[in-house]
Structure 1
Amino acid sequence: MEDSIGVPRQFTGQLLDAAVRYAEERHWDVLPGCWLETAAPGAPRCSCGSARCAAPGAHPVRPDWTGRASGSAPAVRRMWQRQPESSILLPTGRAFDAVDVSEDAGCLALARMERMNLPLGPVLATPGRRLLFLVLPGAGAKIPDLLRRMGWPPQSLDLAVLGEGGWVVAPPTRTAPGGSAQWARRPTPVNRWLPEAEELLGPLAYACAREAAEARTR
């Protein structure tokens, strides 16, 4: 059974349940975003109505979104009961920042981190083949200087930080082009306490630099 825009009711229930869990279990602020609508014929389109939407189904609905996010589970439940198709957005710069690298570099770095027994928080995988490592807030102010001290000019690496004023798209949200946000490392009680960005930056910078060097030799 589907709702009026072609989204299975079972899936909208998953969105509501996941959004509530993020607020209730992790105490993260949660925000309902735009969603994908079924266009006939053609690919799904963003509910914002823009034919040139840069992030279909993966951005806030309103410009005043920063004041609408909530970490209250009852408030989050009411949001998704009003608009069950909404994507799940988690504002950055509050409970966490996100260090954003390519999927290839992120997988290499993740393997090194696990061998080194480094503390790890949840890690998001996007349909755009990016990995986002969740770290304590404030990473954006630290990382450029830390990279320079390590000998890597920040602009030379495919590494970015999402902090205050940004957001990440949380599972099981579907975005376009086709795919869903997924957890490469799920939130669990073990990784409730997030690492500082500098604890993970060495392996991440190394992996990004190696990826850049390989790209130059192709």
Structure 2
Amino acid sequence: MVTKGRLSDWLRRKTGERGAGVDGAAVRAAAGGRNGDDLRRDELLLEAADAGLPLAPAAHPSPVSGYRCSCDRIGCPTPGTHPVSFAWQTQATTDPEQLRRWLRTHPLANFITATGIAHDVLDVPAEAGRIALERLAAEGSEGGPVAVSDGRMLFFTATRATADEDEWWPCELDCHPETLDEHPGLRWHCRASYVLLPPSRLPSGAVVAWLPGHGPDRALPDPLPLLGVLTDACAQVEPEPETVGWLH
């Protein structure tokens, strides 16, 4: 388990400097090129697939166009962070052979994991995530997989989506790729959504990374108890609404 002090120090490095605090090995691992670092990238993605996270290739910041998107869409609204294929929901897989083929044919690609199939993701501002992790540690809970992504923290959980449509309950926190801006605080990625997986690179220069001790091999927790902890943590970091004085 990561201690409170070490956790806080690590998160400040990862989120406070927007990628500058990511160690050089992590950056090199995401930079492409067939070397030991590139093999580590492959290993991270294969570990995620082995843990049951369905993967699909995504665009990446283009090294030849000033960190614009590798796709050919002019003015791409989500550069380097969207799936390569519009069929990503059906394309996403845990098959290691398919993943190895993608790694060969898309050597610079980021990868997303489709949520609402085998897992969900509760996505919060990094500071709220830090508060939640410290509370969980104080309660003796080790938590599940957690990744850090450019000012956000991603808590991987069991999914609430089921095969029976009648059993699937809607939630106002549900977040889809096109509604990210509507959820600046807590987001719940379930059906028809996705998140980037480590070691994806972002246009900011940051690298998505697993929190130490919270890799994809961790058991997926029930999302509902975690939701309560994250909601409380978000309330602590959200600015209080401005008050308007009475005019006399």
**Deviation sequence 1:91-143 (CA, Å, 0-9, x none):** 1111210011111111111101111123511111102x001111110179476
**Residue 97 (structure 2) pairs with residue 74 (structure 1):** yes
Question: Residue 215 of structure 2: which of 167, 170, 187 is its match?
Answer: 187
Which residue does 2:39 correspond to in 1?
13
SS in 1 for 2:211: strand
Q: Could you tell which deviates more after superposition, 176-185 or 51-60?
A: 51-60
Contact preservation (8 Å) 1:118, 1:199? no
Q: CA deviation at 1:7?
A: 3.9
Separation of aligned partners in 2, 1:202 and 1:163: 17
Q: CA deviation at 1:213?
A: 4.5
Which residue does 1:197 correspond to in 2?
223
Between Structure 1 and Structure 2, the one with more strand by share is 1
Contact preservation (8 Å) 2:48, 2:216? no
SS in 1 for 2:86: coil
**Deviation sequence 1:51-83 (CA, Å, 0-9, x none):** 422322221112111121111111111111111
**Residue 121 (structure 2) pairs with residue 98 (structure 1):** yes
Aligned pair count reads 197
Which residue does 1:3 correspond to in 2?
none
Contact preservation (8 Å) 1:14, 1:172? no
Which residue does 1:150 correspond to in 2?
none
Q: CA deviation at 1:13?
A: 3.3
Question: Structure 1's 215 and 131: CA in aligned 2 closer, same or farther, altered over 3 A?
Answer: farther
Separation of aligned partners in 2, 1:79 and 1:157: 32
Q: Mind listing any 5+ residue stretches in structure 2 that lack a counterpart?
A: 1-30, 162-167, 174-181, 244-248
Work out the percentage of aligned pairs sharing the same amino acid: 27
Question: Structure 1's 52 and 83: CA in aligned 2 closer, same or farther, altered over 3 A?
Answer: same
What does 1:26-45 correspond to in 2, within 5 Å?
26-39=51-64, 43-45=66-68
Q: CA deviation at 1:201?
A: 2.0
Question: Residue 84 of structure 2: which of 61, 69, 90 is its match?
Answer: 61
Q: CA deviation at 1:15?
A: 2.9
Q: Mind listing any 5+ residue stretches in structure 1 that lack a counterpart?
A: 1-5, 146-154
Q: CA RMSD in A?
A: 2.6
Q: CA deviation at 1:90?
A: 0.9
Separation of aligned partners in 2, 1:116 and 1:52: 47
Separation of aligned partners in 1, 2:61 and 2:123: 24
SS in 2 for 1:90: strand
**Residue 160 (structure 2) pairs with residue 138 (structure 1):** yes
Contact preservation (8 Å) 2:54, 2:94? yes
Separation of aligned partners in 1, 2:76 and 2:93: 25
**Deviation sequence 1:135-191 (CA, Å, 0-9, x none):** 11017947659xxxxxxxxx99821100111111111111111110011253264x2
Amino acid at match of 1:22: A
Q: CA deviation at 1:47?
A: 0.8
Q: CA deviation at 1:9?
A: 2.9
Separation of aligned partners in 2, 1:97 and 1:84: 27
Question: Structure 1's 216 and 102: CA in aligned 2 closer, same or farther, altered over 3 A?
Answer: farther
Contact preservation (8 Å) 2:47, 2:216? no
What TM-score do you get using the length of structure 2 for normalisation? 0.70
Separation of aligned partners in 2, 1:144 and 1:159: 10
Question: Structure 1's 157 and 59: CA in aligned 2 closer, same or farther, altered over 3 A?
Answer: closer
Amino acid at match of 2:121: A
